[in-house]
Structure 1
């Protein structure tokens, strides 16, 4: 006699989850969009307030420079303004040369314009670096590669300036002198060297070595493509040359009798010295270095002050507010 097979008790199954139950709540997308819009609006308002604050704080400088340059040669000032505009295009060219991926041209130039304005708000080039880093990440580059591209561009710019200084120094003998360092400065240099040695022997060195290896790998990859290498070095050279041309144009506008090669060497040396001081856009440090170099070359103090004010007016004060506006628009359009 066979017994009937025992049947397992049936377990009621839950109904399959529908697409509607797995989807987020209907109002979450709207809420996220509202938060993003509020954040973008806040950034835009902060940029506008910053622009107004910078203009009011340095209004006497802007007014004085405009008054001194009112009687200057307008043709040479136009040349200087054109050279200042060209610096943003050359910076975009150098940034494109630092990466293998093709970047959107118009947005790249706009980002350099916005970065130049942001660079005069935050110290030591942090503003320009943050804008370019965010732009590269938005273009699809990973964060380490974006940071490496900025390092490649900065290295090329520094090397170009050193080469130009070495090429112009023999034509202007006696202009560049090695400064006498006081004992305190010598001690600070030795302390900095000791700190670097300690960091190299510490646990931070493996990370630094990894970052350096990434940068060197990107440099080799860029130079394996002749078009990218030409853009990197050509843009870096044009950037330094156009800034020098802007200063030369202002000296010609105020009829300051200095040779163009000498003025270019003064700018290159002064900008290199000002980079050692972490001020926003070199404000104060670059002004003092330029004025010192011009007066050391035999220029009257009043004429040197007019040249510095005119150069700053063309490269900083006039583009500052439009640059911050472009920065806000790039943020709002999610390009940054």
Structure 2
């Protein structure tokens, strides 16, 4: 490379990667919104738009026909020359990949605007049509397909075009609308559709293909450094551009030490804007640094932090130049790095020096924010810092605590968890380390720090355990760094699910309340009491499955919250997860808690099937179970789907390994528990009676609800309906089986001859007693358990 008569050598590849810029993503979103707006406006207010266009055209259309033709011919020549100028430029520069995207954008936009109800329509050009300008050029340009193709190719070509050309050509294209109005050719609505489709197609192609960073302005960098007194003779690429900057080593004649030059292109750092915005949106205000309004401000902030830390004698380099170059590039030049690098195999005695240097930063209220070992260097007995992109002057307590947590993780890779925690306590004190250790989690630890340490998850766990041992605390409570905790998000999802499942019931509330006037309230109160007793049975069964290691009273309270979690999630998975979590908080290990819940469910299924067979036989011929047998086609479909699932698990290696190493041990433990249960009659009786009470209690509540509205069937029949109907409805995808349970129970009672005037209100009352009342009690109960740290 030759700059101002001097030959500048460049070693290494300057080829820039294909990446998706923030502007590419925003362009797709804006173009999609524009397209939806144009289409919706055309469909909803088409007549009003036509009238408005005609009115505006009559006002501004003051040119004579000859003048209009002259204006239109000049504009038409310019707009026709535009795509061909771009095409010739691409061919001359041999940018074949861009040429392919250019052609694809034009073809897709043209085809998209040619689709009609009868298929693809070709351009329909007629000469001598009095309503339009009597020129072939005018009729051709009036076609929205041409406008769409122009907008698409301009969008694809824009990242490669000089800024001045890009702006003028877009202005020329958008001038299509006012020029049409001036020459009294009313087609702006059609042209707006073409513009929106072309822009969206071009934006999608740019997003899919990616935008390469354009030519690196090294010549400008050489001239700028020369103005600062640094005459550069050559560049060596130290790190290619990517998510971060292009890092170069700039050689000089005198003195012979090299500068480190970081070149930030818009394609290298614009993605950080979205990450910063997402972090600001999801993390608490004290956890995220202020968002930089521009790339230049971000580079300037790095330089100012380098100066501030350099004044303390703790910076591994000092900034020598920052500047804005062409095409949005930013230059950050710094002096050569001092000292030697610190790596994972360095002497673990360095740990003390690292913590002392961090203490000096914190004493001056400076947070580094990126304390990975690659940003640390050692000179004599002093540890120096580098990389100040996320450093903060006047840092908050949260940022200072985050520094301590980051350095705990980084130094644990250097000298082990025990030495790292002990040194941190010696320098900062046990209280500060204990507070900072609440951030030793995946959410609070930045990904760049976790990625710099091997097996970061295990290291974080070891550090938390070591802090517990050395500080003598019982437990480290996790710091909430996000605006919403995981429990809050889960509760919000459950609440939304509750609204969803309750909506169909709300619409039938007026009719149901009018029917309640005729109900016998003594039977309804009996049903409510029996419904409450089922929670005692379920709690007893789970207590016995957990070998009595959890308090029975707490299990009864948990069953109420369990109703809310099970009702608001499909197939009751929320209730199972809540039970496992409760047992874990009660002192059981994860595997033991899962096995206890699985054991309860297994016994529940066995009890349910056994009672179903018994009561079906007891019902005799009066129980026509043929009403509950699905259609043979449905049975075949279910069997086929089941075989497909089995085949998928057998032929996919990952699923096979999951079955072997995750599911099989738990199933084996459940069968082992069942064998142990047979050998312990007392425990078996408690579990069996608890599960039986839950099943028979539900049937008794439905029978009491039917009696409340006049009765008309036996308890045996109701039990069969409850168990069969509940089993069929459990396969429904709706949370809590809402809709499916009601339909199955009403249909089952009708099959046994119960009139709809009794069956419908009885089932609704049954659902109120067993589902909706417990659900509304379960929400505050679940919040109480969360507050008490029991789930």
Matched with 1:142 is: 589
The one of 632, 640, 643 equivalent to 1:193 is 643
Q: Does 1:163 align with 2:569?
A: no
Take 2:736 and 2:675, find their aligned partners in 1: how far apart are those partners?
A: 30
Take 1:319 and 1:180, find their aligned partners in 2: how far apart are those partners?
A: 31
Once the two structures are TM-superposed, the CA of residue 77 in structure 1 deviates from its matched residue by: 0.4
Most deviating of 43-52 and 127-136: 43-52
Structure whose residues are more often helix by fraction? 1
Matched ranges for 1:185-264 at <5 A: 185-200=635-650, 203=653, 204=656, 205-207=659-661, 208-264=663-719
Once the two structures are TM-superposed, the CA of residue 38 in structure 1 deviates from its matched residue by: 6.2
3-state DSSP of counterpart to 1:141: coil
Matched ranges for 1:1-336 at <5 A: 17=423, 19-21=425-427, 23=430, 24-25=432-433, 28=436, 39=485, 55=502, 58-172=505-619, 173=621, 174-177=623-626, 179=629, 181-183=631-633, 185-200=635-650, 203=653, 204=656, 205-207=659-661, 208-336=663-791
Once the two structures are TM-superposed, the CA of residue 264 in structure 1 deviates from its matched residue by: 1.1
Cα–Cα, structure 1 residues 260 and 35, in superposed 2: closer, same or farther, change >3 Å?
A: same
3-state DSSP of counterpart to 1:265: helix
- Whether the 8 Å CA contact 1:61–1:309 is kept in 2: the answer is no
- Structure 2 unaligned residues grouped into runs of 5+: 1-351, 354-421, 440-477
3-state DSSP of counterpart to 1:283: coil
- Whether the 8 Å CA contact 2:530–2:697 is kept in 1: the answer is yes
Take 1:199 and 1:47, find their aligned partners in 2: how far apart are those partners?
A: 31
- Whether the 8 Å CA contact 1:88–1:113 is kept in 2: the answer is yes
Take 1:293 and 1:236, find their aligned partners in 2: how far apart are those partners?
A: 23
- Whether the 8 Å CA contact 2:566–2:572 is kept in 1: the answer is yes
Cα–Cα, structure 1 residues 320 and 187, in superposed 2: closer, same or farther, change >3 Å?
A: closer
Most deviating of 107-116 and 21-30: 21-30
Once the two structures are TM-superposed, the CA of residue 222 in structure 1 deviates from its matched residue by: 3.7
Cα–Cα, structure 1 residues 221 and 255, in superposed 2: closer, same or farther, change >3 Å?
A: same
Take 1:280 and 1:47, find their aligned partners in 2: how far apart are those partners?
A: 10
Cα–Cα, structure 1 residues 293 and 41, in superposed 2: closer, same or farther, change >3 Å?
A: closer
Take 2:545 and 2:563, find their aligned partners in 1: how far apart are those partners?
A: 18
Cα–Cα, structure 1 residues 154 and 277, in superposed 2: closer, same or farther, change >3 Å?
A: same
Matched with 2:205 is: none
- Structure 1 unaligned residues grouped into runs of 5+: 1-13
Relative to the length of structure 1, the TM-score reads 0.85
Take 1:302 and 1:63, find their aligned partners in 2: how far apart are those partners?
A: 15
Once the two structures are TM-superposed, the CA of residue 199 in structure 1 deviates from its matched residue by: 2.4
Once the two structures are TM-superposed, the CA of residue 33 in structure 1 deviates from its matched residue by: 5.5
Take 1:298 and 1:277, find their aligned partners in 2: how far apart are those partners?
A: 25
- Whether the 8 Å CA contact 1:152–1:219 is kept in 2: the answer is yes
- Whether the 8 Å CA contact 1:123–1:279 is kept in 2: the answer is yes
3-state DSSP of counterpart to 1:281: coil
Once the two structures are TM-superposed, the CA of residue 209 in structure 1 deviates from its matched residue by: 2.9
- Whether the 8 Å CA contact 1:97–1:232 is kept in 2: the answer is yes
Take 1:143 and 1:21, find their aligned partners in 2: how far apart are those partners?
A: 37
Structure whose residues are more often strand by fraction? 2
Once the two structures are TM-superposed, the CA of residue 59 in structure 1 deviates from its matched residue by: 1.8
Once the two structures are TM-superposed, the CA of residue 188 in structure 1 deviates from its matched residue by: 3.8
Cα–Cα, structure 1 residues 230 and 186, in superposed 2: closer, same or farther, change >3 Å?
A: same
Cα–Cα, structure 1 residues 106 and 20, in superposed 2: closer, same or farther, change >3 Å?
A: farther
Once the two structures are TM-superposed, the CA of residue 36 in structure 1 deviates from its matched residue by: 9.4
Take 1:64 and 1:232, find their aligned partners in 2: how far apart are those partners?
A: 40
- Whether the 8 Å CA contact 1:99–1:228 is kept in 2: the answer is no
- Whether the 8 Å CA contact 2:709–2:762 is kept in 1: the answer is yes
Highest relative contact order (Cα 8 Å, sep 6+), 1 or 2?
A: 1
Per-residue displacement from partner, 1:99-140 (whole Å, max 9, x unpaired)?
A: 224211221111111001111100101121111011011112
Take 1:222 and 1:136, find their aligned partners in 2: how far apart are those partners?
A: 19
Cα–Cα, structure 1 residues 36 and 231, in superposed 2: closer, same or farther, change >3 Å?
A: farther
Number of equivalenced pairs: 324
Cα–Cα, structure 1 residues 170 and 184, in superposed 2: closer, same or farther, change >3 Å?
A: closer
Matched with 2:187 is: none
- The structure that has the greater radius of gyration is 2
Cα–Cα, structure 1 residues 201 and 334, in superposed 2: closer, same or farther, change >3 Å?
A: same
Aligned-residue CA RMSD in angstroms? Answer: 2.9
Cα–Cα, structure 1 residues 201 and 287, in superposed 2: closer, same or farther, change >3 Å?
A: same
Take 1:187 and 1:247, find their aligned partners in 2: how far apart are those partners?
A: 32
Once the two structures are TM-superposed, the CA of residue 65 in structure 1 deviates from its matched residue by: 2.8
Cα–Cα, structure 1 residues 292 and 335, in superposed 2: closer, same or farther, change >3 Å?
A: same
Most deviating of 36-45 and 179-188: 36-45
Cα–Cα, structure 1 residues 50 and 162, in superposed 2: closer, same or farther, change >3 Å?
A: closer
Matched with 1:3 is: none
- Whether the 8 Å CA contact 1:148–1:215 is kept in 2: the answer is yes
